[in-house]
Amino acid sequence: MVKKRDEWSSKMQFVLTCVGYAVGNVWRFPATASEHGKSAFFIPYTICAIVVGFPVMFFEMTIGQFHQIAANRLFPKYVSFFRGLGWCMAILNTIVGITYNTVIGWCLILFHIGCSTNMSSIPSDCLLNISETPSKQFFFNKILEKSHSISDFSSFNWRMAIAILVSAMGCALINVTGTKSMGKTAYVTATVPYFLIMALLGNSLFIPGGLEGIVSSLQPDFNHLTRMDTWYKAGGQISYSLSLGVANLISFSSCNSKNYNCYSDCLVVSMADFGMSLLGSLTIFSVMGILAFKNNPTGTVFAKPIAEELQRISLWIIALLFVVTFRLDHDTFGVFIVVTMLIHKEIAQVAKKEVAALDGGVLISETNQHGHLMQ
């Protein structure tokens, strides 16, 4: 007897789960936009969202809910030669999942330091160092505990190992309970980050330099619109933020009924993605503006230690920033759910190899040599 496939308890749970992936924009979009025309980057980004993002997302949701099977068995129904395409998506999701788990480990460590340590007492031995910012040196030397050489595997970062273990346990709990548990957690994890980021943005506006940072980020450089690399980055960013081509949407929509109307859901997810892109950019650049852009970090991993240096930002605001970032673990849940759905009902040897690949990738991120791989 064929086991009945899991279904979403309500339409809202499915929509919020898909919307939750848009929160990941706070990781990449601000840095990408600042390097490719600042506010002018929204022009190619919007065009790519209309021409590529929305149609592909609607297509993936449609075929997913129509066939109601995993990607490795879906594509051979159209072209038998494409059977390996689903497995390529599984490999890609495995790599992304390992990366996300590592990032969540950083967030847990930074959150612990932010809540248990007096910000003014955090040591900094690079006050006279002009080649690296204090925040960057703190991240690589204190968080990653970078070794002296890339060939040095002699030590092990136990703090990172525990943090990644906690993140992995959260993924395992969601995978065991399936879409029902994931849909219920989406009520909180997909909505609260928007309010928390708005609170952080509002607080930053009242700190000298916050508004200037936003104004500077909104100054467009239209010369980038004539460069092919800008359009390439815009297409890559919309694919990343909407999780296109990695079987996430196919797997989620396969838990809908065949006659479900997903067109309106695609519109909601697209607008939420655009909103988080704008909101996340304003928030990150307001923090950058407070420091007068002198540290010039390239992403939120370095923005968070910078935020810790700001004594005028209260501790609860710092905690909210890390909670928003830890919410990205919801994306990791979805990534590994896709992998488990793809290997479901396949031979046991495949499952064992999948687990071995996951363990090997995670172990690399727990060594002190990981700091060199990051650079």
pLDDT per position as a tens digit, 185-204? 778 778 877 887 888 888 88
The predicted pLDDT at position 124 comes to 52
Cβ atoms within 10 Å, residue 43: 17
Dist CA 297 CA 344 (whole Å) = 42
- Secondary-structure breakdown of the chain: helix, strand, coil percentages, each rounded to the nearest 5: 75, 0, 25
Query: What is the predicted pLDDT for the residue at 41?
Result: 94
Instruction: State yes or no: 362 annotated in a binding site.
Output: no
Is 106 a residue whose pLDDT tops 60? yes
Q: Taking residues 123-137, report their average pLDDT.
A: 60
Locus of tokens 């930002």 = 313
140 burial type by CB count under 10 A (0-12 exposed, 13-18 middle, 19+ buried):
middle
Q: Is the pLDDT of residue 206 over 50?
A: yes
> In this predicted structure, what is the pLDDT of residue 51?
94
Position 8 pLDDT exceeds 80: yes
Q: Which two tokens stand for residue 332?
A: 């990791």
Contact present, 171 and 101 (Cβ < 8 Å): yes
Q: Is 241 annotated as a binding residue?
A: yes
Residues 6+ apart with CB under 8 A from 170: 329, 333
Note whether 44 and 231 are within 8 A (CB). yes
Residue extents of the structural domains in the chain: 11-374
Each residue's pLDDT tens digit, 271-313 = 988 888 888 888 888 877 876 555 554 444 444 444 444 444 4
Mean pLDDT of 35-54: 93
The response to whether 251 counts as a known ligand-binding position is no
Does position 354 have pLDDT exceeding 60, yes or no?
A: no
178 is in an annotated binding site: no
The model's pTM: 0.75
The mean predicted confidence, pLDDT, of the chain is 74
Q: Annotated binding residue at 199?
A: no
**In this predicted structure, what is the pLDDT of residue 49?**
93
